[in-house]
Structure 1
Amino acid sequence: MTHLFPVRVYYEDTDMAGIVYHANYLKFIERARSDWVKQQGLDQNAMREKDGIVFVVRRIEADYLGMAKYDDALEVRTEVKAMTGVRLVMSQEVMRGKDCVFRAEVTAVCVTLDGHPARLPAILRRRLI
């Protein structure tokens, strides 16, 4: 299942040349992951407050493949590639039309508020099996 998340490039997202600043791709894919989590029926505020667990990014491997510019309409495509009891590995692509301008593999883990590994929420494990 591929999750699609639209992004419009604003002036604040660009560098002096009007090209998306490299770090902003990480913001775009973070927004898409947050939206994906919400669509899975999870409330991250409730997870933190009620269960004392949060998602954190453990690893990102990123490839910059093209350039997006001011006012481009982009789409972030997110797919789950692997899951363990505490970890999700997701593939994310930022597309401008048919062109992939950025690709990342992101490993996110679930941890307690003091940083210890925690099981992924049951609702998420059930949906992804």
Structure 2
Amino acid sequence: MRRAMTDQLSGRLVEGGHRLDVRVYFEDTDFSGVVYHARYLHFLERGRTDFLRLHGIGHRALMDGAFGEPMAFAVRRMEIEFLRPARIDDVLQVETRTALLGGARVVLDQRILRDGEVLVEAAVKVAVISPDGRPRRMPPAVAERLGAPAS
């Protein structure tokens, strides 16, 4: 039961990536009911985290050394384009897919949509780091699970 509920909360894997539904609450908006720009970072983070989780790559497991040495992912660079506003009570879809996989990094393409209309596009470069913050190579088992189009 617990696993099924967690899977529902984590969105779902779809062809080419992951999709997570999120609702816009009052706390996500400014005084006019429009989503505050920084809140999109929260939605994107949830999408990335659940993308990893459904690929069997949980943050806690990474730090516990499940794939060899303890490691973590850290956002190194993010490019965001805000195309249209979201508003209170909207249900948004956060899409995440692997765009590029390298020795110590992964680039993820993310989009936030409402009813098929793209509101936000983001390219997120994530580095693999050790617990003390030093770069490290991505373990082959993690790279295999993330998969990517040929680069």
Q: For the superposition of Structure 1 and Structure 2, which TM-score range results when normalised by the shorter chain?
A: over 0.9
**Structure 2 gap ranges (5+):** 1-15
Give, in whole Å, the separation in 2 of the partners of 1:98 and 1:40: 25
**Paired position in structure 2 for 1:47:** 62
Task: Among all aligned residue pairs of Structure 1 and Structure 2, give the percentage whose two residues are the same amino acid.
Answer: 37
Equivalent of 1:16, from 3, 10, 31?
Answer: 31
**Paired position in structure 2 for 1:60:** 78
Equivalent of 1:102, from 105, 120, 145?
Answer: 120
Where relative contact order (Cα < 8 A, 6+ residues apart) is larger, the structure is: 1
The residue type equivalent to 2:91 in the other structure is A
Equivalent of 1:3, from 5, 15, 18?
Answer: 18
Give, in whole Å, the separation in 1 of the partners of 2:144 and 2:122: 25
Equivalent of 1:27, from 25, 42, 50?
Answer: 42
The alpha-carbon deviation at position 122 of structure 1 amounts to 2.6
Task: Tell me which protein shows more strand as a share of its residues.
Answer: 1
**Paired position in structure 1 for 2:12:** none
* Structure 2 counterpart SS, 1:67: coil
* Structure 1 counterpart SS, 2:97: strand
TM-score by length of 2: 0.81
Q: What's the CA shift string for 1:10-62, capped at 9, x where partnerless?
A: 11000000000000001000000000001111121121133321100000000
The alpha-carbon deviation at position 118 of structure 1 amounts to 1.3
The residue type equivalent to 1:82 in the other structure is L
**CA RMSD for the aligned pairs?**
1.1
Give, in whole Å, the separation in 1 of the partners of 2:18 and 2:95: 6
**Paired position in structure 1 for 2:87:** 69
**Structure 1 gap ranges (5+):** none
Number of positions where the alignment pairs a residue of Structure 1 with one of Structure 2: 129
* Structure 1 counterpart SS, 2:120: strand
The alpha-carbon deviation at position 87 of structure 1 amounts to 0.5
* Structure 2 counterpart SS, 1:82: strand
Regions of 4+ moved over 3 Å: none
TM-score by length of 1: 0.95
